[in-house]
Amino acid sequence: MNNSLGVYIHIPFCSSRCKYCDFVSSTGGEDAMREYVAALKGEIQARATDYVNYTVDTLFIGGGTPSALYVGGVEEIILHLRRSFNCDFTEATVECNPESLTENKLDEYISSGVTRLSIGVQSLSDNTLSALGRRHTAPMARQAVSLAVESGLDVSCDIMLATPYQSPHSAARDAEELSDMGVSHISAYMLSLEQGTPLAREYSCGKYSYDDDCAADIYQAVADKLHEKGFDRYEVSNWAKEGKECLHNLKYWKRLPYLGLGAAAHSLIGNTRFYNSHSIEEYLEGARDSSYPVIAEAVLTDKEEEEELIMLSLRTSSGLDTSQMGKEGRRYIERARRNPRYFNTHGDKIVVKDEFIPVLSQVTLLLMD
Amino acid sequence: MSRDQSNIRNFCIVAHIDHGKSTLADRIMDVTGAVSKREAKQQLLDSMDIERERGITIKLTPVRMEYEYGGKTYIFNLIDTPGHVDFTYEVSRSLKACEGAILIVDASQGVEAQTLTNVYLAVDNDLEIIPVINKIDLPSARPEEVKAEIEEVIGIPADDAPLISAKEGVGIEEVLAQVVDRLPPPSGDIDKPLKALVFDSYYDSYKGAVSIVRIFDGTVSAGDRIMMMSTGMQFDVTEVGFFTPNSRAVERLEAGDVGYLCASIKNVSDTKVGDTITSSVNPTPEPLAGFKEAEPMVYSGVYPADGAHYDDLKDALEKLKLNDAALFYEPEVSAALGFGFRCGFLGLLHMEIIEERLEREFNLDLVTTAPSVSYRVVTTSGETVEVSNPTMLPPAGQIDHMEEPVVKAEIFTPPEYVGTVMELCQDKRGTFVNMTYIEAKRVMLEYEMPLNEIIYDFFDSLKSRSKGYASLDYEILGYKRGDLVKMDILLNGELCDALSLIIHKDKAYARGRVIAEKLKDIIPRQLFEVPIQAAIGGKVIARETVKAVRKDVLAKCYGGDITRKKKLLEKQKEGKKRMRQVGSVEVPSEAFMTILKFDK
């Protein structure tokens, strides 16, 4: 009997670096990309032997910007994956940016078996986009979204909350417009100012200001609008029309097995977490001698698993199923019942009440030891 | 083989803080060859980190030196004295051990508050005083004016005062020559019964409590049976000796000597500073005059930040107490802070030093409550109760009136700051007593002031208002009736006992407002709104609100990398552990200290 496996493939290339980003990415040219894809293929092959008992049912190619890859690159990767792993995709997502999503690439994705596109729209306001250092404009974003929707693939858009020049009203208007265009999934993340990024510097020198209450208002406005538009919040930052939830992302929250391939990709297999080097250079080196070393491997203790399960599953609308936790589960149910202001309990399940989702970490701590 | 007392000189150095006392002491040791320079650094200054960092002397270390002068060898016993007002009693005891004092005055700063206090103490103890003007190497030095100041303000001739730079080693020989020529030798009677003054003590893990003594009459040797005159406790002497500055055992100490005495004494508190030691076989009829028990003036609750470290804190206090008879502590329980101790200190500096040592030397993370003085509460039934912890105050209905300690404060300041300093004193409920122009550039203000007002931020405010020029000294006058009330702080409607304080009625409104505002900034937003109220009795006098938190970080989780989210949660969890639970409200430890500093 085969276990299902999610595969995440990291494409660490972008046409330029956004001002808020501190993630692994390179603005390298086609040669660098080809070298990387070759390494990736090597890793796919090398790892595959450990997963003969698994079937890959969800694939997520993220980045970076997978759509920034040369034409044919994504196809090459997926083909190689199919050759090396048992694949039966229920869902296969490619992350795209508006400026690099072309009809050619769309055709390439569709013919490779991609079912879903996740577009980094971030905002439909030019002021905001340029403050974030995005390469695309609002009209380009609209064009990419309609192109994607017309292709018949499931389309998800990332939007960023609490960004420069954004108001609760404008954020809700963006969400509404995307919904009206036929997008069936929206991921809305709060801007997080990472140390050392140009945007963080601009905030600290006073070019923009950040206000927690305003951020909360923006989040709430978007949540309300999406609710009105028939979306369900199935996870803190993710909304979907019925049946359009991202199955791959759900694996992260449900602690189902996923394997990350490529630089900086993280994996969870059973009770072991591991990841590849965050440096592209180091990753390529590992490919050259075919060693593909994982950088850190941690076998989680029962306690750690328990805490992860709480932290991750409370993010979802289906909540924490304490029946998975054996005896320990009772304690958590009781704790939740003692805090009825924050939690709903149904049988063995604990779900954070809607109004406390924006302060989820604090609420989560109420359950933890 | 008794020594010739005429060759002995027992003296100390007195000065205002920072006028160069320790530097001169080091220099004198260099010249007399007591220690090499390298050793001096390691042995003398390493004794207590805090002393060095703060540039103050807390423990008294008498050093015995030999000095060749005019073909004769003299024995110098240099007794260092603490330079801070908290330790005035210790200073007075060590002055008693001397026949003379070197008075250092900074050549640019002139006479300061503690210069005067210490000189008065020296005069009270009939010491011969040698004024010395230090730091003449500084461009701002004005030795002639300072000489005039010494003559006018202190009233001692300063014409022959050596002009020195202890830092540069200039003029040291002249100081030593004057020590020989001008200071009288001791004049005790070696044949009389033993009479020795304890002027300091410390704990040694091998020898037990070691008494540092000045022998006035008689002799003492190992094997003698001695008696502490204040308690009647008896001990067998195991060792006597000198500090050079390392301890060096000798056969006996005689009248005129300064040295140490070990007698298997378990606690420092059994060898009290100021006590007289005599022979239990042949006791002296009269002890030396002026013995006082060290009395704490300032109290504060000291709690471990992590309740699990209560026993560590207890051990640490026990160890410190071994060496510091003035430290007082007793167990205390607070609803907000758990198990801890109510500690009594000689003053604010003493408090800061103890707290710093607990944190540094014992690696403890502490939460301390605002310092309080000890109030006298006269109840309606006519009883008098001492209260140093506001939560222990009897119910308002049972209080007839309250009394608070008042001090006489002497403030030295340049005339341009007189206005602002007087305003500050007035604001701190001071009663003006006197103002004296010491010379064109220095004014001495005398105020009678509640100690309670001084222990908060008076000293800091004084310094900032006078750009650092004003200096302060004070002595306790006694207790005075005051219109005092207990102010409570309520968080989300629940009383936080560790934040209660006793305060003058007229100050309560303003302080209540400031504390509420500060707490509002310090208490993090929680899952619900937290009202902060300052109240007297049942009456709320100030209110602020900490709004409920509305969002956490909801950042993207890239490619299944949950490490950031885990770290963030771990951090929040840690943060939560450091919080104190007051009812339903989480309060950071700093909150309990905020009411310390309330000046805007």
Give the residue among A171, A168, A143 at the shortest CA–CA distance from A158.
Answer: A171
Report which listed range, A46-55, A189-198, A291-300, B1-10, is most confident: A46-55
Contacts of A362 in chain B (CB under 8 A): 526-527, 549, 552, 572
Q: Give the best residue of A247, A362, A366, A367 to mutate against chain B (max B CB count within 10 A).
A: A362
Q: Where are the alpha helices (DSSP H) in B34-107?
A: 37-39, 49-54, 88-96
**Which of A23, A252, A359 shows the shortest C-beta gap to B550?**
A359
Domain locations in chain A?
A: 3-253, 302-364
For residue B194, what is the DSSP state? P
Name the phi and psi angles at B562, rounded to 5.
-95, 10
CA atoms of A290 and B229, how far apart (whole Å): 87
Tokens of A366: 């109420």
pLDDT value of position B246: 77
Tokens of B122: 């020296």
Asked if A101 contacts A67 with a C-beta cutoff of 8 angstroms, the reply is yes
Whole-Å CA distances, B545 to A136, B57, B523? 44, 45, 10
Q: Where are the alpha helices (DSSP H) in chain A?
A: 30-48, 73-84, 103-112, 126-132, 138-150, 168-180, 198-204, 212-228, 247-254, 280-288, 302-313, 328-338, 360-367
Least confident of B13-22, B94-103, B153-162: B13-22
A123: how many CB neighbours lie within 10 A of its CB? 26
CA atoms of B116 and B100, how far apart (whole Å): 16
pLDDT value of position B86: 66
pLDDT digit string, tens, across residues B62-95: 889 999 998 999 999 998 776 565 677 777 778 8
Residue A355 Cα, gap to closest chain B Cα (Å): 9
Residues 6+ apart with CB under 8 A from B218: B188, B189, B190, B191, B192, B193, B194, B195, B196, B254, B255, B279, B284
Tokens of A299: 């076998």
Give the CATH number of domain A3-253: 3.80.30.20
Asked if B74 contacts B186 with a C-beta cutoff of 8 angstroms, the reply is no
DSSP string, B267-288: -GGGS-TT-EEEESSS--SSPP
pLDDT digit string, tens, across residues B332-383: 999 888 999 999 998 877 888 888 889 888 889 898 888 889 999 999 999 9
pLDDT value of position A15: 83
Give yes or no for residue A184 having a pLDDT over 50: yes
Paired with B475 in beta bridges are B408
Q: Do A212 and B561 touch (CB under 8 A)?
A: no
CA atoms of B252 and B467, how far apart (whole Å): 52
pLDDT digit string, tens, across residues B519-554: 999 999 999 999 999 999 889 999 999 999 998 866
Paired with B110 in beta bridges are B106
CA atoms of A152 and B431, how far apart (whole Å): 87
Share of chain B above pLDDT 90, in %: 49
Q: Do B555 and A368 touch (CB under 8 A)?
A: no
Residue type for A38, please?
Answer: A
Give yes or no for residue B101 having a pLDDT over 80: yes
Give yes or no for residue B286 having a pLDDT over 80: yes
pLDDT digit string, tens, across residues B414-438: 899 999 999 999 999 999 999 998 7
Burial class of residue A358 in the structure, from the number of CB atoms within 10 Å of its CB (0-12 exposed, 13-18 middle, 19+ buried): buried
User: In the block, which residue shows the tokens 């958590």?
Assistant: A332
Long-range pairs for A251-256: beta carbons < 8 A, 24 or more residues apart: A251/A6, A251/A58, A251/B560, A252/A312, A252/B557, A252/B560, A252/B562, A253/A312, A253/A313, A253/A315, A253/A316, A254/A312, A254/A313, A254/A316, A255/A305, A255/A308, A255/A309, A255/A312, A255/A313, A256/A4, A256/A6
CA atoms of B566 and B177, how far apart (whole Å): 72
CA atoms of B510 and B184, how far apart (whole Å): 56
Name the phi and psi angles at A16, rounded to 5.
-160, 165
Residue A189 Cα, gap to closest chain B Cα (Å): 5
Chain B residue nearest residue A254, CA to CA = B560
pLDDT digit string, tens, across residues B42-53: 444 345 555 545
Q: Which run of H or E residues covers position B241?
A: strand B239-243
Give the residue among B376, B445, B384, B446 at the shortest CA–CA distance from B405.
Answer: B376
DSSP helix/strand/coil, A109 = helix
Q: Do B565 and A311 touch (CB under 8 A)?
A: yes
Give yes or no for residue A297 having a pLDDT over 90: no
Burial class of residue A180 in the structure, from the number of CB atoms within 10 Å of its CB (0-12 exposed, 13-18 middle, 19+ buried): exposed
Is the preceding peptide bond at B245 cis, omega within 30 degrees of 0?
yes
pLDDT digit string, tens, across residues A61-92: 998 899 999 999 999 999 999 999 999 999 99
Residues 6+ apart with CB under 8 A from A236: A315, A357, A360, B554
Asked if B407 contacts B454 with a C-beta cutoff of 8 angstroms, the reply is yes
User: In the block, which residue shows the tokens 């809305």?
Assistant: A188
| Secondary structure string (H, E, C) spanning B414-469 | CHHHHHHHHHHHHHCCCEEEEEEEEECCEEEEEEEEEHHHHHHHHHHHHHHHCCCC
Residue B518 Cα, gap to closest chain A Cα (Å): 20
- pLDDT band (50, 70, 90) for residue B60: low
Residue type for B67, please?
Answer: Y
Give the residue among B235, B176, B183, B234 at the shortest CA–CA distance from B207.
Answer: B235
Give helix A360-367 / helix A328-338 axis angle, nearest 10°. Answer: 120
Give the residue among A76, A86, A118, A100 at the shortest CA–CA distance from A248.
Answer: A118
Torsion of CA A201, A202, A203, A204, to 10 degrees: 50
For residue A324, what is the DSSP state? G
pLDDT digit string, tens, across residues A101-139: 999 999 999 999 999 999 999 999 999 999 999 999 999
CA A116, distance to chain mean position in Å, is 13
Asked if A340 contacts A347 with a C-beta cutoff of 8 angstroms, the reply is no
Q: Do B549 and A359 touch (CB under 8 A)?
A: yes
pLDDT digit string, tens, across residues B104-156: 999 998 888 777 777 877 887 889 999 999 999 999 999 999 999 898 888 88
Tokens of B89: 């009693």
User: In the block, which residue shows the tokens 């009736």?
Assistant: B481
**Which of A237, A252, A359 shows the shortest C-beta gap to B560?**
A252
- pLDDT band (50, 70, 90) for residue A153: very high
pLDDT value of position B43: 41
CA atoms of B480 and B404, how far apart (whole Å): 5
For residue B150, what is the DSSP state? I
Burial readout A103-112 (b: 16 or more C-beta within 10 A, e: otherwise)? eebbebbeeb
Give yes or no for residue B33 having a pLDDT over 80: no
Q: Give the best residue of B552, B568, B573 to mutate against chain A (max A CB count within 10 A).
A: B552
Give yes or no for residue B598 having a pLDDT over 70: no
Q: Do B561 and A264 touch (CB under 8 A)?
A: yes
User: In the block, which residue shows the tokens 């079912």?
Assistant: A115
**Which of B554, B561, B569 shows the shortest C-beta gap to A190?**
B554
A67: left (phi over 0), alpha (psi -120 to 50) or beta: alpha
**Which of A23, A213, A360 shows the shortest C-beta gap to B558?**
A23
pLDDT digit string, tens, across residues B222-269: 999 999 999 999 999 999 999 887 788 999 999 999 999 999 888 878
How does strand B239-243 pair with strand B225-228? unpaired
Tokens of B543: 């209110």
Contacts of A58 in chain B (CB under 8 A): none
Q: Supply the mean pLDDT for chain B.
A: 86
Q: Which run of H or E residues covers position B176?
A: helix B172-182
DSSP helix/strand/coil, A80 = helix
* Complex ipTM over 0.90: no
pLDDT digit string, tens, across residues A186-245: 999 999 888 889 999 999 999 998 888 999 999 999 999 999 999 999 999 999 999 999
Give yes or no for residue B209 having a pLDDT over 60: yes
Torsion of CA A106, A109, A111, A114, to 10 degrees: -130
CA atoms of B254 and B191, how far apart (whole Å): 10
Tokens of B209: 């409590």
Chain B residue nearest residue A369, CA to CA = B573
How does strand B8-15 pair with strand B100-106? parallel
Least confident of A318-327, B15-24, B424-433: B15-24
Between B330 and B205, residue with greater pLDDT: B330
pLDDT value of position B445: 95
Residues 6+ apart with CB under 8 A from A331: none
A152: left (phi over 0), alpha (psi -120 to 50) or beta: left
Share of chain A above pLDDT 90, in %: 85
| Secondary structure string (H, E, C) spanning B353-385 | HHHHHHHHHCCCCEEECCCEECEEEEECCCCEE
